Structure 1
Amino acid sequence: MQAIILAAGMGKRLGDLTRNNTKCMVKVNGVALIDRL
């Protein structure tokens, strides 16, 4: 299986969640979004 993960940018609309990280590194229940894929 091949896939493209669109995870570019700082995600300014996510406010404090992305102040120091990119969108793909935002944690949900202690796990980064990129790790959930």
Structure 2
Amino acid sequence: MIVEGPIYRIRGVMMQTYLSLVREEGLKIQQRTLCELF
């Protein structure tokens, strides 16, 4: 259990950073499509 703790913590941090990157990319794509539409 002691060995699995840090692994789950690192995995959670990686998921948070991945989701934040995906969110930023999604916002960029939305801004691009809005600029193209209007």
TM-score w.r.t. the length of structure 2 is: 0.21
Higher RCO structure, 1 or 2 (CA under 8 Å, sep 6+):
1
Bigger strand fraction: 1
Bigger helix fraction: 2
Q: Radius of gyration: which is bigger?
A: 2
TM-score w.r.t. the length of structure 1 is: 0.21
